[in-house]
Chain A
Amino acid sequence: MTDLHCAEFVEMVTAFLDGALDPAAERRFVDHLALCDGCDAYLHQIRATVQTLGDLPPGDLPPETRATLLEAFRKLG
């Protein structure tokens, strides 16, 4: 185990994914990741969460609203 605790690692995940850790912190983070299966799984879970959020289907515009807006666009001239 490195000097980074898992409890600290989990709080650095978002900064790591945004490339916002300073070089020293990033090294500690990556070193810990290489040695700790628990944190590796945690990081994967966060990535999977982000990806799944990105797959959320958007709601549809109600047809009447869509028709109203197309009409307004048409009238713009």
Chain B
Amino acid sequence: MVVPPDAELVARLRARDEATFALLLDEWSGGMTRLARTFVSTDASAAEVVQETWLAVIQGIDRFEQRSSVKTWVYRILTNIAKRRSVREHRITPMTSLTDAGPTVAPDRFQQQGEPYPGHWREFPEAWQPEKFAMAAEIHTELAAALAELPERQRAVITLRDVEGCTATEVCELLEISAANQRVLLHRARAFVRGKLEEYFRRAGS
């Protein structure tokens, strides 16, 4: 069973179709937990945020005006709950972080002044063949660890964009950031995770 298009989804939820609600729980809760975890400090707290969000969705579905997609609406509820809780947990979200500036690829990967081609690769990045990704479980562990190391806002953006597949516009709305800011955060996060994968493949000795 797949999640139906929005109009039908809302109609079914309003008709109290339990199978559809169960499907949504199973399809979306994983991503919601991941997103919640970028705001709050423990897994238990993230699980509570997800539960609280679903309860708000149940209470609100009859009043939902469909000005956004259902998923955006649900994610927005989640972000609000998670942010409130992160304030209670005294987590500070710095508006800028050191790692929001500067090159995303180590400068020593490129030739310096005095070398034949300043600014160009010293050694080309390796072409990643698909078979590199065969150890999916190990790679997923690496990725999860890399995401956990990211500054909070970068983690929220890359989680929404690349893990959850939200659009740039949705992410800007959810996190209340500008398009330019969204792109910078995503760019830095992707470059960091790419670097971690590169390290992993090197360690794995290919």
List residues of A whose CB falls within 8 A of some B CB: 1, 5-8, 10-11, 13-15, 18, 20, 36-39, 41-42, 44-46, 48-50, 52-62, 65-66, 68-70, 72-74, 76-77
Flag if A54 contacts B25 (CB, 8 Å). Answer: no
**Would you list which residues of chain B between 42 and 65 have a CB under 8 Å from chain A?**
47, 50-51, 54-55, 58
Known: A45-B194, A46-B194. A18 touches B120 (CB 8 A): no
For the complex of A and B, the 7 pairs showing the least CB-CB separation, nearest first, are A58-B30, A5-B119, A38-B124, A38-B121, A14-B187, A53-B162, A61-B29
Flag if A41 contacts B119 (CB, 8 Å). Answer: no
Task: Select the residue from A7, A66, A74 with max chain B CB neighbours within 10 A.
Answer: A7
* Residue in contact with B29 in the complex, picked from A10, A38, A39, A60, CB distance below 8 Å: A60
Q: Which residues of A contact B54 (CB under 8 A)?
A: 69, 72
Question: In the complex, how many angstroms separate the beta carbon of A59 from the nearest chain B beta carbon?
Answer: 5
Q: Which residues of B contact A65 (CB under 8 A)?
A: 47, 50-51
| Chain B interface, number of residues (Cβ within 8 angstroms) | 53
The 16 listed contacts between A and B (C-beta, < 8 Å) are A5-B120, A10-B191, A14-B183, A36-B120, A38-B120, A45-B128, A50-B190, A53-B158, A54-B162, A54-B163, A54-B165, A57-B30, A58-B33, A70-B18, A70-B22, A76-B58
Question: In the complex, how many angstroms separate the beta carbon of A56 from the nearest chain B beta carbon?
Answer: 5
Question: In the complex, how many angstroms separate the beta carbon of A53 from the nearest chain B beta carbon?
Answer: 4
Task: Select the residue from A18, A60, A73 with max chain B CB neighbours within 10 A.
Answer: A73
* Residue in contact with B30 in the complex, picked from A38, A49, A59, CB distance below 8 Å: A59
Flag if B121 contacts A68 (CB, 8 Å). Answer: no
Q: Which residues of A contact B118 (CB under 8 A)?
A: 5
A7–B107 Cα distance when bound, in Å, is 8
Flag if B121 contacts A6 (CB, 8 Å). Answer: yes
Known: A66-B25, A73-B21, A76-B16. A56 touches B119 (CB 8 A): no
Known: A11-B104, A52-B143, A69-B25. A37 touches B124 (CB 8 A): yes
Flag if A13 contacts B187 (CB, 8 Å). Answer: yes
The yes or no answer to B103 lying at the interface (CB within 8 A) is yes
Flag if A56 contacts B183 (CB, 8 Å). Answer: no
A45–B39 Cα distance when bound, in Å, is 28
Flag if A61 contacts B120 (CB, 8 Å). Answer: no
Flag if A56 contacts B193 (CB, 8 Å). Answer: no
